[in-house]
Structure 1
């Protein structure tokens, strides 16, 4: 641990979760874990003490950006070190996670990992295979960034310009992709999502709008391919069901995940495509308890 450069881990969360404890246990003597929350009423502030190396920082309420973007910006400004890690509080960080990421950076430069989203409600479970194929696989194969596990150094980006833009947008990792090239090392992390049908509906709306404003070409291609797949599923249901199932089993193999939900790929298409179109026309969406109106890449209103 002492041989690697000191690292600042930026973790936006309003609660002290298992991930907080896992990361705190991995800190070296000079490392720090910055737990970034909104304000004094958040549950994370109720602890009497925190492990050594942990700092609790209030980001305040966002004005023209998402709560996540606001927290990341506050964390980067408060961080003491050159080497930075962004991560999330909703997946398991094994004991060697930080050391492994640092070793990867030393070998490749900026690096990221891959999320595999596992549903906690019926709709999220149904959509699992399409999240894997349309979300996780392109991140892995395309050397793209997942904000839940990315390591870079300040000198890798134009930090001042990035922070200015970050405080005016919704997607932290969507914006970072415009500033930073990474090597995606392909390690897959299981990330539970959903819990309620409302959450399951809001998530694809947010993801669709991230693509719309940051990667318009990608969302156009996604809509076109999805409509073609839906047409095939309607016109040749047996053939489509077999092909989609086999393809999604192959996707899972590439991601290193064994999930029975690959067999849901065929019925998922009939839900995914309407949600995709709904996400394009929806005027607001909810994320982390706040409702946002996103009218342009740098035109964000916090509605409530």
Structure 2
């Protein structure tokens, strides 16, 4: 961002397909809405990531879309839309660009979903919710508290009344996919996914380190980050 020559900036990731008109479309979105973000839909490439797909949609993608929140994989804004000096100073002292950018920039999230492949190994599938939970913990603690509370309520229902809960979760996640413009059979996995997702959340909260981009981080506070070692 500091090296960019122009005032209109686009942040993205390299882990999903960018169609030829992607940049032009985002630029047109900015002209209509101002700062704009798209919505990710995470597609699993290993059994655990596939199982968790519906909960990534409901706990992640849907919240970004309905709440006009930023996904760092596709966001456009002008340099003067944020306090760039303060933002870059804090970015150099923390881990999550998405989490920090959410604190500095208000966006309109457009109804356009990008398929993002994730995982590949069980280890990678475990690291993602750990990283996601740590981002919420340090940037939006009330959000992670709410996620835990709702997840525990749903898990309790899944144990006490399995058939009704399974039916409700399946229909709900099919509806969520419709809202996001996605047709994925994995919505039927929402019920069994709850039994994995909730323990993963608690595991993520007690983990002292996590791996991201080939590096292992120890995140003790929002601006207290240590690179433990390179994983590559």
TM-score by length of 1: 0.75
Answer with 225-234 or 87-96: which moved more: 87-96
Distance in 1 of aligned mates of 2:208 and 2:10: 32
Among candidates 190, 197, 205, match of residue 272 of structure 1? 197
Partner SS state of residue 303, structure 1? strand
Choose between structure 1 and 2: higher helix proportion: 2
Among candidates 33, 36, 45, match of residue 120 of structure 1? 45
Please list the CA deviations of residues 86-133 of structure 1 after superposition, one character each: whole Å capped at 9, or x if unmatched.
011111111111111001101110000000000000000000000000
Larger Rg: 1
Residues 234-249 of structure 1 correspond to what in structure 2 (within 5 A)?
234-249=159-174
Runs of 4+ in 1 over 6 A off after TM superposition: none
Measured on the aligned residues, the alpha-carbon RMSD in Å equals 0.5
- 1:293 aligns to what? 218
Among candidates 181, 184, 194, match of residue 259 of structure 1? 184
- 1:42 aligns to what? none
- 1:79 aligns to what? 4
- 2:207 aligns to what? 282
Distance in 1 of aligned mates of 2:123 and 2:38: 27
For structure 1, the residue ranges without an aligned partner over 5 or more in a row are 1-75
Q: CA deviation at 1:294?
A: 0.4
Residues 163-182 of structure 1 correspond to what in structure 2 (within 5 A)?
163-182=88-107
Q: CA deviation at 1:77?
A: 1.3
Answer with 94-103 or 108-117: which moved more: 94-103
Matched, 1:196 2:121: yes
For structure 2, the residue ranges without an aligned partner over 5 or more in a row are none
Residues 4-19 of structure 1 correspond to what in structure 2 (within 5 A)?
none
Distance in 1 of aligned mates of 2:29 and 2:211: 35
- RCO (CA 8 Å, sep 6+): is it higher in 1 or 2? 2
- 1:107 aligns to what? 32
- 2:21 aligns to what? 96
Distance in 2 of aligned mates of 1:274 and 1:170: 24
